[in-house]
């Protein structure tokens, strides 16, 4: 479920619930914590993608284009 599926009134209701749960004083702190968590997650995801791209290709998975697939059961 993404935010794209929510209408304006549903978003307003969610914002009111968040305001009631966190309160007006703690709301900026909660937003800052969520933003920091998202930045760390994106950084970790980017690091993982970069490390995967730097791995050399495996020779076991490479097959010539004209090679027939191996049969597991005969």
**How many domains does the structure of the chain reveal?**
1
Query: What is the C-alpha to C-alpha distance for residues 40 and 54, in angstroms, rounded to an integer?
Result: 21
d(CA 43, CA 72): 41
Element (H, E) at 61: none
> Is residue 28 assigned to a domain?
yes
Q: Is the torsion defined by CA of 32, 33, 37, 43 positive or negative? A: positive
Structural domain that includes position 31 = 24-50
| Average pLDDT along the chain, 74 residues, taken 10 residues at a time | 73 87 85 92 93 76 64 71
Provide the pLDDT for residue 11.
84
Length of the chain: 74
Residue 37: predicted pLDDT: 94
40 domain residue, yes or no: yes
pLDDT at 46: 93
The pLDDT of residue 21 is 86
pLDDT score, position 42: 95
Predicted confidence at residue 67, as pLDDT, reads: 66
Whole-model pTM: value is 0.49
């Amino acid at each position: 479920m993404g935010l794209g599926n929510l209408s304006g009134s549903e978003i307003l209701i969610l914002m009111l619930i968040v305001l009631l749960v966190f309160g007006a004083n703690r709301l900026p702190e909660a937003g800052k914590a969520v933003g920091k968590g998202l930045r760390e997650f994106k950084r970790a995801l980017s690091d993982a993608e970069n490390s995967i791209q730097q791995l050399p290709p495996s020779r076991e998975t490479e097959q010539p284009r004209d090679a027939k697939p191996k049969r597991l059961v005969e």
